[in-house]
């Protein structure tokens, strides 16, 4: 069941269009000219690849970067299909460039497909309009800061109950259920709409498809127009990517505008409890946002919700592959909460191992890159304008000098002190600004582009993990021929995002009245 869904969603081949081939031939001369212009610049070290084409990035690009990093060091420069890429392999380099020199690196790479056609520069995560970015960032911060997100705890607690209830009834489609619960909870928090009930709700597919297109469009080398930007002026008749991106923008802009108008109409009726978007509407004049800009503010959070679904998928894999860690979480829950009630956010301070599990999971399996808009010099190296900067978070989160020689393993104990409490900060992470010290990892990024939805994400993961492990045990299926458990491969499907390989699991109640307790708690929460 999972394999069929996974292949249908993520394993579709890329079609090569004749018009694209023509454009490729025309563009080779331009690439050659650009290559000639680069002469005399002191670029950082890195693999050079083939003439004109540069390096060929595989679907496991982060693994490629890790191997090259052993040869070229903390900062690497390369090109893929004419697209400029800078990889930062150490936290020190990332902090120096993206935190301390954040003014130079605030903007994302100028993604042509994403910014000029797919989102028209309206997506917070990728926009290069400094003024718009500041306004949208402010709007997002006001509804997603650490204090503001406590308003959505009841939504997150109840959505976790629906998630568990559905899994206890049927866990065969657990992956689809992970997407349903993350999208449902976020849509309710954003727009104060009823929870999404069906795993096949069209809204889930819509957001999932848009996210996949964003990921594909942002991956280096997938679109020649990113390096030969004048190709964007080619007519849509010979540019299938342009037709598709423009169609997606029209559809999603209409989608977000309809959601905004619905909240506006309910506000006009005197309904004051309308979630994050209602706050943005009330403060729209002060924030300086147009209607379409205000409508697109939540889009970035919807995209982040997809990342939360992938993190939830990694949680299932970790619980199967490391059952001793699952048992430690459950023992803590039994000690602190007992079995007469379900855990709530009020229990969080007394559940250090659960909190360490959230922290460790995000360290163990992270995702995401950054980019810059200006030419720059760093340690004598020239970094050209428009270079896509990739902090190698995968590698930074595995630094043995910080996390130990077992950094590749999933081990929440690394965040627990001798007294059983949560370690405030891992040694040597104090060079990371903001509240990344408390995170214990760098998965939420660096500088001014630090993930604005990190507090909501942490809250969602905590309450989902806590309530699920209180009520149920996650186990691998049993091979009917051998009678042995089927443990999934821990190797990641890696690209610009990181997701687990396909696998099945079984979710069963831990004790006889667990399902009844879930149903009763859900009824009381309405």
Among candidate residues 365, 190, 337, 345, the one with its CA nearest the CA of residue 276: 190
Q: What is the mean pLDDT of residues 184-192?
A: 94
pLDDT exceeds 90 at position 28:
no
Q: Please give the DSSP secondary-structure letter assigned to residue 113.
A: I
Higher pLDDT, 492 or 134: 134
pLDDT of residue 371: 43
**Residue 44 near residue 69, CB atoms below 8 Å:** no
pLDDT exceeds 60 at position 141:
yes
**Residue 344 near residue 157, CB atoms below 8 Å:** yes
pLDDT of residue 382: 86
Q: Give pLDDT tens digits for 40-76.
A: 678 899 998 887 678 877 767 777 888 898 899 999 9
Q: Give pLDDT tens digits for 98-129.
A: 776 665 555 555 678 888 888 998 888 777 77
Left if phi > 0, otherwise alpha if psi is -120 to 50, otherwise beta: which for 390? beta
pLDDT of residue 415: 93
Distance CA 429, CA 31 (A): 41
**What contacts 419, CB < 8 A, 6 or more positions away?**
none
Q: Are strands 83-88 and 388-391 parallel, antiparallel or unpaired?
A: parallel
Q: Give pLDDT tens digits for 280-296.
A: 999 999 999 999 999 99
Mean pLDDT of the chain: 83
User: Residue for token digits 């693994």?
Assistant: 63
Angle separating helix axes 291-321 and 202-218, nearest 10 degrees: 90
Handedness of CA 403, 406, 407, 409 (dihedral sign): negative
pLDDT of residue 33: 45
Q: What is the mean pLDDT of residues 407-429?
A: 83
**Residue 505 assigned to a binding site:** no
One-letter-per-residue 3-state SS of 358-383: HHHHHHHCCCCCCCCCCCEEECCEEE
Higher pLDDT, 462 or 53: 462
pLDDT of residue 183: 94
Distance CA 345, CA 239 (A): 50
Distance CA 166, CA 438 (A): 33
Q: What is the mean pLDDT of residues 1-9?
A: 45
SS3 146: coil
pLDDT of residue 63: 77
**Residue 443 near residue 363, CB atoms below 8 Å:** yes
Residue 354: pLDDT band (50, 70, 90) is very high
User: Residue for token digits 């050209």?
Assistant: 384
Residue 236, both tokens: 């849509």
Q: What is the mean pLDDT of residues 320-349?
A: 97
pLDDT of residue 37: 45
**Residue 181 near residue 159, CB atoms below 8 Å:** yes
Sheet of 75-80, strands arranged across: 75-80, 83-88, 388-391
Distance CA 523, CA 328 (A): 29
Q: What is the mean pLDDT of residues 454-477?
A: 97
Higher pLDDT, 220 or 446: 446
pLDDT of residue 15: 42
pLDDT of residue 419: 93
pLDDT of residue 507: 97
Among candidate residues 249, 306, 297, the one with its CA nearest the CA of residue 275: 297
pLDDT of residue 388: 78
Cα Rg for the chain, rounded, in angstroms? 23
Taking the CA of residue 205 as centre, how many other CA atoms within 13 Å lie in the half-sphere pointing to its CB?
8
Residue 478: pLDDT band (50, 70, 90) is very high
Residue 407, both tokens: 């950094």
Higher pLDDT, 233 or 225: 233
pLDDT of residue 376: 66
pLDDT of residue 369: 45
Mean pLDDT is lowest, of 60-64, 137-141, 336-340, for 60-64
Handedness of CA 357, 360, 364, 369 (dihedral sign): positive
Residue 373, both tokens: 């808009």
Q: Please give the DSSP secondary-structure letter assigned to residue 353.
A: H
Distance CA 209, CA 8 (A): 11
Task: Identify the structural domains of the chain with CATH numbers, from first to last.
Answer: 131-524 (1.10.630.10)
Mean pLDDT is lowest, of 118-132, 193-207, 370-384, for 370-384
Among candidate residues 327, 503, 498, the one with its CA nearest the CA of residue 398: 498
Distance CA 67, CA 76 (A): 11
The pTM of this model reads 0.86
């Amino acid at each position: 069941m999972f394999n069929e869904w996974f292949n249908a969603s993520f394993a579709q081949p890329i079609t090569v269009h004749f018009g694209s081939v023509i454009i490729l031939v025309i563009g080779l001369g331009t690439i050659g000219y650009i290559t000639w212009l680069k002469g005399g610049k002191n670029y950082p070290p890195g693999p050079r690849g083939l003439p004109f084409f540069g390096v060929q990035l595989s679907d496991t690009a982060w693994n490629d970067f890790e191997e090259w990093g052993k040869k070229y060091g903390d900062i690497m420069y390369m090109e893929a299909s004419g697209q400029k890429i800078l990889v930062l392999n150490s936290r020190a380099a990332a902090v120096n460039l993206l935190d301390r020199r954040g003014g130079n690196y605030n903007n994302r790479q100028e993604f042509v497909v994403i910014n000029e056609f797919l989102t028209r520069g309206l997506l917070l995560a990728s926009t290069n309009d400094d003024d718009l970015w500041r306004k949208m960032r402010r709007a997002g911060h006001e509804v997603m800061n650490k204090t503001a997100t406590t308003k959505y705890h009841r939504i997150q607690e109840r959505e976790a109950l629906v998630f568990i209830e559905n899994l206890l009834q049927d866990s065969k489609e657990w992956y689809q259920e992970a997407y349903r619960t993350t999208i449902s909870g976020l849509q309710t928090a954003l727009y104060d709409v009823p929870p999404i009930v069906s795993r096949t709700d069209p809204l889930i597919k819509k957001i999932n498809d848009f996210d996949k297109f964003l990921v594909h469009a942002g991956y280096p080398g997938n679109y020649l127009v990113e390096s030969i930007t004048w190709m964007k002026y080619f007519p849509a008749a010979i540019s299938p990517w342009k037709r598709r991106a423009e169609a997606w923008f029209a559809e999603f802009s209409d989608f977000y505008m309809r959601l905004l108008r619905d909240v506006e109409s309910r506000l006009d009726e005197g309904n004051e409890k309308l979630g994050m978007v209602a706050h943005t509407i009330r403060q729209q004049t002060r924030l300086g946002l147009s209607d379409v800009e205000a409508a697109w503010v939540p889009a970035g959070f919807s995209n982040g919700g997809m990342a939360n679904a992938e993190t939830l998928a990694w949680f299932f894999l970790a619980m199967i592959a490391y059952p001793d860690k699952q048992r430690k979480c459950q023992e803590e829950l039994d000690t602190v909460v007992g079995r007469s009630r379900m855990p709530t956010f009020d229990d969080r301070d007394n559940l250090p191992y659960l909190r360490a599990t959230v922290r460790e999971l995000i360290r163990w399996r992270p995702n995401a890159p950054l980019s810059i808009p200006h030419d720059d010099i760093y340690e004598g190296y020239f970094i050209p304008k428009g270079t896509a900067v990739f902090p190698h978070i995968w590698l930074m989160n595995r630094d043995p000098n910080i996390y130990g020689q077992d950094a590749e393993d999933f081990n929440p104990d690394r965040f627990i002190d001798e007294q059983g409490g949560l370690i405030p900060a891992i040694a040597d992470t104090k060079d990371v600004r903001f509240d990344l010290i408390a995170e214990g990892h760098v998965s939420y990024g660096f500088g001014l582009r630090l993930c604005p939805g990190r507090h909501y994400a942490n809250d969602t993961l905590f309450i989902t993990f806590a309530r699920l492990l209180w009520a149920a045990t996650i186990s691998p299926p049993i091979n009917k021929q051998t009678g042995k458990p089927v443990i999934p491969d821990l190797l990641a499907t890696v690209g610009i995002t990181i997701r687990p390989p396909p696998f099945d699991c079984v979710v069963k109640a831990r004790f006889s009245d667990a399902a009844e307790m879930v149903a009763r708690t859900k009824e009381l929460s309405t």
